[in-house]
Amino acid sequence: MRHGMQKRGSAVVRVAIFFCAMAAVFPGFTSAQDVAQFEKRMTEFTLDNGLKFLVLERPEAPVVSFHTYADVGAADEVRGITGMAHLFEHMAFKGTRTIGTRDYEAEKKAMAKIDEAFLALKAERQKEQRADKARLEQLKSQFREAQEQAQKYLVHDEYEETFSREGSAGFNAYTSHDATQYIVSLPSSKVELWMMMESDRFAHPVLREFYKEKDVVMEERRLGIESQPVGRLLEEFMAIAYKAHSYGDEVVGHMSDLETMTRAEADAFFKKYYSPSNLTIAIVGDANPQQIRKLATEYFSGIPSGPKPDPVETVEPPQLGERRVVLEDPAQPFVLIGYHKPDIHHPDDAVFDAITDIVGVGRTSRLYKSLVKEKRIAVAASGFQGMPGAKYPSLFLFYAVPAKGRTNQECEEAIYAEIERLKGEAVTPEELAKAKTRARAGLIRQLDSNSGLAAMLTFYEVVTGDWRNLFEQLDKIEKVTAEDIQRVAKEYFTTKNRTVGIIETKGA
């Protein structure tokens, strides 16, 4: 399963994907004014327990894509359970009381013994210097034996293999700071199978192999962060860019939290964040809305309702001065520069999208042309908004990879020069026009998938409050002016609002 911080990227590109999807659904679809025609194929309803469904009829092929959006991500975690949202993503594939087990009642007792053994081992480890080494080894042995006993009842990967036998595609999940999402596409004749399986795993999840899966996640952390220079830099960079908000923590979590968190904590996390009121499901493809509503009521309405969790209340205070972190590593040098910016709801969000396109997208972007093609001081250079999320104020990032024989300082100064250029002179009409027309470029170049469309519907529904804001985004980009870009660059791209991360190759 995929995980980690998702670069939101340019909404120009995101909207382009959406509009090419609309071209496939509605020939001739070219503007936001066609929302009324789009709505004719859209059905939305909410069950009594608070679970919302978005159903888009797209009968061109006998397939359906399902996208379950849980409005919980790494940003919702607190100290002590960082990494829990991602870990639960793993747990959601382990099955239920009827799927993934040979004897659930016996397995339940075996898992209770694992928990008991882990808590005893955890307590002994927390004694630190006072820990009894002989006792530790005994407890480790008991913990391993308890896990081995539980394995006898396990049917590995039964949840995934059930879908695979029925012709599934794209079966996956991913966790970001803002959300946890579960996806799969199936033949349209298998809608009821999905209803049964998806409702069962959120009504009766079984957190089997919890401690083994923690080991898997810890290995992911070692490979993806601790052994990767850019991964280590990014973690350090985000930690100093955010001193209050949870956007500063890695999705995979801190190693000490992963080592000590318990199944009981995961169960409490599920009960709080996986209530129906915190889930939104999009179904796109050859689907009959009446059938979907009937089956959804039959399979999902029995899940108990619960209050929607409060959003993160911590507000990152204004940054008062430049922050900088330098890592020494024999790896490739690297420079990363970030500026705090508002969330997706702010009127300037579309302006940042336009800036993304002008300075950071493709070989014609300002950063690539200046640093890579003309000055030849970098082998890569770009910029984009929305790291690490969109729900809360995030960062606009610039980065560069110095060319052989060139330095981070040269690249950093060249990036600042391009930023000052944004402030000092208006972007050309041609640059601005290209940024706007890129939103429609996908109409010619490609067709989008049901799955991609379902992802965008849930994103806009949950994060902005209405899937129709897909259409509004293009209108907002169209209204961006050269003066807006200068104003935003001057307001946000300031020294005191800046965080800089560097990989220096000392010791190579």
Q: What is the pLDDT of residue 315?
A: 97
Alpha-carbon gap, residue 179 to 301, rounded angstroms: 23
CA angle 140, 145, 151 (to 5 degrees): 130
What size, in residues, is the chain? 508
For residue 374, the tally of other CB atoms under 10 A from its CB is 10
At 2 the pLDDT is 44
Instruction: Look at residue 31 in the predicted model and tell me its pLDDT.
Output: 46
**Residue owning tokens 């909410």:** 46
**What pLDDT score was predicted for residue 87?**
96
Cβ–Cβ < 8 Å for 182, 2: no
pLDDT tens for the chain, 508 residues long, are: 544 333 333 333 333 433 434 444 444 444 444 567 778 889 999 999 999 999 999 998 999 999 999 999 999 999 999 999 999 999 999 999 999 999 999 999 999 999 999 999 999 998 877 878 899 999 999 999 999 999 999 999 999 999 999 999 999 999 999 999 999 999 999 999 999 999 999 999 999 999 999 999 999 999 999 999 999 999 999 999 999 999 999 999 999 999 999 999 999 999 999 999 999 999 999 999 999 999 999 999 999 999 999 999 999 999 999 999 999 999 899 999 999 999 999 999 999 999 999 999 889 999 999 999 999 999 999 999 999 999 999 999 999 999 999 999 999 999 999 999 999 999 999 999 998 887 665 443 434 688 988 998 999 999 999 998 877 877 888 899 999 999 999 999 999 999 999 999 875 4
Helix (H, G, I), strand (E, B), or coil: what is residue 348? Answer: coil
């923690």: which residue's tokens?
Answer: 214
Beta bridge partners, 184, equal 66
**Which has the closest alpha carbon to 29: 45, 47, 41?**
41
C-alpha 15/C-alpha 9 separation (Å) is 11
CA gap 437, 432 in Å, rounded: 9
Q: What is the DSSP string of 58-94?
A: -TTSSEEEEEEEES--GGG--TT-TTHHHHHHHHTTS
What's the pLDDT score for residue 507?
55
- Give the β-pairing of 323-328 and 334-341: unpaired
**What pLDDT is recorded for position 104?**
97
pLDDT for 438 equals 77
Instruction: Report the chain's terminal Cα–Cα distance, integer Å.
Output: 35
Phi-psi region at 331: left, alpha or beta (left = phi > 0; alpha = psi -120 to 50)? beta
Element (H, E) at 112: helix 104-125
Q: Name the token pair of 117.
A: 């053994």
